[in-house]
Structure 1
């Protein structure tokens, strides 16, 4: 018993010393639960608030302004833009600038007055008619549900009257996903998550495997430059990523009837930018990790925020500002915006140039950083 305990103690002590020298693994032991706790407890919120919205106000008087302020007081939406026509607002929804738009008609005051006074037979007929209309991006079911909750508004919030009054109602039109099927929103987002996991892991493990297997000795004796080695390593995985994109979209369309409204050229162009960004991130990880296990740990460390903060599972607008700042630094956030806009809202690649330029800048910076950190030597 004592001899067995001594041997177990010796092995355990060896593992503790080895773990203390492995800084990456020790950091993952501390950081992974810490990051998950912060993300789930602080950043994740299924109640969407301050949804970016626009308004088309044909009335433009005190009544319409009071109604807009009453709606904003619910903190469900934040009217960031005013548009002159529904078409202009529709284009903003397609670009992703806003998630919903409120349209107030010319006869807003008359409709409210008829509901409030109930003086005529016509007013009774109008009690069930909407006084305005909401146009909402229905591709995100949580955001659409939040806007639907604004379908009724108490009249005394607008008229400041103490008399019992009938609430006003709005017509809610859900675009791009009128059936409110969650799979329509999930499948395009899965493109980002699957590519993040596979592209980063494959690339980060590729160079680390060369180092572990001793193949770096052969590369040392060749005239290849670090930049050339980086590009050569990621080239095969570019085609692997495009194959994954094709499989996900095809299966999602055939099995789950997910529509593909945008052009395939725009879709694969956006996917190509994200694949390059993910591969370069994997290259940077490969210059940090010393073993394939460390490469996998660092991949998980990147994957968790990509799943939780990118808008894949939870609305981006529901997260606090610090979490949104972190999300803006993740390639998955920008790609999910692009792919959902192209696939579901039939957006053109050119109107998504801000996210596209960000992915290009991230790729160039990643290749530069990986090339600088890479050293063609064994130690």
Structure 2
């Protein structure tokens, strides 16, 4: 059983790789004028749907939904980056090492929730005022805090998806795209969760971002702090469940690889 100190050390060392990967993928110029602008344009595109419908309430609904969904689009990139070791020739070393695989991979792709925190915060704070949503100064730190927790919680969910993609690495981008689309569709971003059949609503409640989005909407509506905290609590509970499943899944994938029943090289 890995100790908290060992887990923290593993995550810290793996995060060094994550930071290096982010520096290879983006410079500050390409991140700012490429990736960020791309996500903001995507958000504006979806938000304009609400304007075209002509319903002010729906406009608010979809603007906030589109803003929070930028974190899903970005954190889901961890599905692909988890498979990079297979194509870089380092998977054999990881399989042979005594490291707890799920803990390592949690740190391995931390660049995505870190970047998602920045992009989602900017999208949530900068774009909605153009659609009639005015934030009070005291709401800003609360919103940023919710964004941080939403990105990390969604990342915990992504880790389970990534463990499957690690086995089916050739389909990693397809798995990521399908997962992202499904989460955006049923989490209440574009249409209310109640729009879907009851079984789909149950699935939506298992998604951390569903509750993160509910917390953001509660802040916008001026709901009591207890309502915001309740949504955040449900989000963290869902994240803990997803992360626990991800740790077990990674352990099983590596156990099969170490016994020769499921090669990862």
> What is the TM-score when the length of structure 1 is the normalising length?
0.47
1:12-51 Cα deviation digits (max 9, x unpaired): xxxxxxxxxxxxxxxxxxxxxxxxxxxxxxxxxxxxxxxx
Alpha-carbon contact 1:263-1:348 (below 8 Å) kept? no
Alpha-carbon contact 2:183-2:207 (below 8 Å) kept? yes
Number of the residue aligned with 2:117: 242
More helix by share: 2
Number of the residue aligned with 1:263: 139
For the aligned residue pairs, the C-alpha RMSD in angstroms reads 2.9
Number of the residue aligned with 2:106: 231
Number of the residue aligned with 1:315: 192
Which protein has the larger Cα radius of gyration, Structure 1 or Structure 2? 1
Number of the residue aligned with 1:282: 158
Number of the residue aligned with 2:239: 363
Mapped partners of 2:232, 2:155: distance in 1: 16
Alpha-carbon contact 1:234-1:279 (below 8 Å) kept? no
Q: Higher relative contact order by CA 8 Å / sep ≥ 6: 1 or 2? A: 2
| Deviating 4+ runs (over 4 angstroms) | none
Shift of 1:349: 4.8
Q: Does 1:206 align with 2:81?
A: yes
More strand by share: 1
Number of the residue aligned with 1:345: 221
Mapped partners of 1:266, 1:301: distance in 2: 31
Relative to structure 2, which stretch is displaced further, 295-304 or 189-198? 295-304
Mapped partners of 2:169, 2:204: distance in 1: 26
Mapped partners of 1:184, 1:244: distance in 2: 19
Q: Does 1:332 align with 2:225?
A: no
SS in 1 for 2:89: coil
Mapped partners of 1:336, 1:285: distance in 2: 21
Mapped partners of 2:245, 2:192: distance in 1: 32
Partner residue of 1:184 out of 27, 41, 60: 60
1:157-210 Cα deviation digits (max 9, x unpaired): xxxxxxxxxxxxxxxxxxxxxx9265433221113322112212x211111111
Mapped partners of 1:211, 1:347: distance in 2: 47
Alpha-carbon contact 1:187-1:248 (below 8 Å) kept? no
> What is the TM-score when the length of structure 2 is the normalising length?
0.65
Q: Does 1:298 align with 2:175?
A: yes
1:72-106 Cα deviation digits (max 9, x unpaired): xxxxxxxxxxxxxxxxxxxxxxxxxxxxxxxxxxx
The unaligned stretches of length 5 or more in structure 1 are 1-140, 146-178
SS in 2 for 1:312: coil
SS in 1 for 2:135: coil
Change (3 A) 1:269 1:251: closer
Change (3 A) 1:231 1:353: same
Change (3 A) 1:292 1:183: farther
Shift of 1:270: 1.8
1:88-135 Cα deviation digits (max 9, x unpaired): xxxxxxxxxxxxxxxxxxxxxxxxxxxxxxxxxxxxxxxxxxxxxxxx
